[in-house]
Structure 1
Amino acid sequence: MQAGPREITTPFRPIPLDIPEGMKPNEFFNSTENLADLVHNNGLLVNPENLLLYRKALGHSNEFDCSIIYNTSQTILDPMGRPVRRTQVPEPVRHVWNRMNGVIIEYMLEQYPDPAEALVLAGEASLDATWPLTAPGVPSIRMLHNHFIVFPKSELADAPLADPGNPNLTDGGQHSLFQAYMREVYRAFFTRALDLQILRPASDHEARLGLTGYPHGLPSWEIQGGVEALKDIRFWREYDAILQGFLDFYRTFFSQVSTRNAPMPEGVHFPDAVEEVLLFNNDFLKTAKKVRDRCFTDAKYAHAIRWQPAFKQLIYRNDEGRLIVTISQNSIGNAITELLGVVVNRVPDAEAYERVEPALVEKLLEVRRRLVEVDLGEGIATEGWPAT
């Protein structure tokens, strides 16, 4: 079977929400009113830390698909002022969020034990205002949320190949920029900055899915100890450290693009590695000059740059059944599934969705039961299910 990105079709029930006249969809979806609707129609569980587990109304997969959002809509009305990455979440909230992640991932792996039959993934992407509001792909909800998704591999195998030139799959050019000119310094920086005990660097071959051929050339790490390691707080500290290292690299690079010989950005997490590996590396600085020089003469190119860090970070199971962590420089708001070569074409089809809804909801309610059992929240009642 030919390896390559796949494009699957996922039916959904049209959302009965009227967007007020004069508002654009992304403006309305950022509103407190829309978040309240998400709670009342799709909410599964909430806790005092404002972490909301909900069914994805516009899902990626109807096999298993849910999210946790850090719902600050009642406490921070300014969408631009809400936390959008793990490093901005208060420690007590992150502690509970990590435990919720572990419970849900453990359930998915228990429910789908065979890596040959199901692609299992969980992760998050930045949702901040790092590119113009007029650009396509602007996040619809500016609050940090993550995804828990299962795709049957039989469906992926039967799906048509996706266009490899799809901009979501190519990541808008910035991934290729990192890989073409700074691949070695990128990985050397992670090696110098990070002191990892549970996460072990994985090769491209170990990380890549045979069916799709993705991910492409990203730094990846195997979770030694598998799902049991997710119960160790040290794992989540290392997971955060990978994001911190990525943020340092991205901020340092684009500060050099913006201003020649710029000083080290304030607040970097690994200043010694930034100074020793990045700011004294000719390939790193040569590439920054290449991008800066193009910005002077190519207005469209300069306009498209994400000047602030934008990322996708996820945990997924590889073909051998090992859990892998990877991170990507996300440039145009593409879906987290596309990092693994899965393009989702959502189509409104209420009848098709209703045929698969009972089995999906049954799994989501079992996840909720397990979270309630370990004191990670209380159930929410909707028209589709009771609170308990």
Structure 2
Amino acid sequence: MPQHDPAPAPPITRDPRDPSSSLQAALRNYHTLDVRFTGNGGEYFRIWIVSSLLTALTLGLYWPWAKARRLRYFWSHTLVGGEPLAYHGNPRQMFKGQALIGVLFLLYSVAGQFSVLGGVVALLAVAGLWPALFRSGMVFKLGNTSWRGLRLHFCGGLPEAYRAVLPFLLPLLGLVLLGTLAPQDAPPQDELGPWEWGALGLLGLVVVLAPAQWWSLKAYQHRHYMLGGLRTGFRATAREFYGLALRFLLMLLAGGALIAGVIVLLTPWLAAGGHPVLAMVLGVALPLAGGLAVFSAIWPWWQVRMQNLVWTETGSAQLRFISRLRLWPYLLLQWRNALLTALTLGLYRPFAAVATARMRLQSVQIRSRVDLEGLLVVARASPQEAAGEAAGDAFGVDLGL
């Protein structure tokens, strides 16, 4: 996919309703802020191994503290314009958020054991809270991230979160409910019944809507990032997401067809040559190994194209991101990481995480028309800074999106 360079910024006018209007006097010509990552695999390995051991010894209870240590390390070694980010999240708040999610799913599991209706009600409650939890996580994560002492901010509202998620969550919820309510003791039938047809229809709808749902989530996120009075926008369209998804699916199908062709050609030849056992082993091992090889080649392609699309289309007239992550270097890095992780029985994982973060972060640049010193002065004097501080009171829920 060709890279998207940002279009020339439109003329900027003063609008008293625009929160960035007080910053217009700071506008200058574009200048570039490079992103660098200075993390070291050996340093992070020590953090990772201690956190992993403590998480295992505490049966997972240490996980929020482990995550906070990881984020502080990666944030502090991410330099934007030569200045590091900082993470201020409180692990105790993160623990409360994770405990809330655990309690909700425990209630769903327990309710389903006693009554089908109770399980359905609990599932509806969990699904109804999911958009609110997602927004809470974004507020917490952004509000506890700072650059040069200025807190970032997520300004997405709760109604917008529900509009971004529920239209696509409903078919998935319907599929789960159908599986829960369907009679379990029905006799087997030669033809599909109404329950099966309904499940297939909902499953197809979930698959068809998946790219639109991913676009909706990313649009909700990337339209509401704020630094001081600057708020980002998102220019990518659902059509572009569907284009990437279609190409991804076609590559998967092509890879599967290639593997199937090899099996069809080799299995009869081996069986005819007096190697039926080898033919049987090949029929099992080749799809697994081939499928893994195909996915290991196509998944990095998806990551590269998605990062370049999402971040290059994020920004505003004053501040814009550009991502130029290259496919072949990233693909070779992922293969190298996978091989060394397998050879070291997983001990290479922290080194792989550092190497991947370095390549992905350093492919991003930030183009600014704002005098950042003026921005910092204005933003620090603004009451909006309290919004970032208030994020420390939110549940530390991070759904990883």
TM-score normalized with structure 1 length: 0.30
Q: Which one has a bigger Cα radius of gyration?
A: 2
* Structure number with higher helix proportion: 2
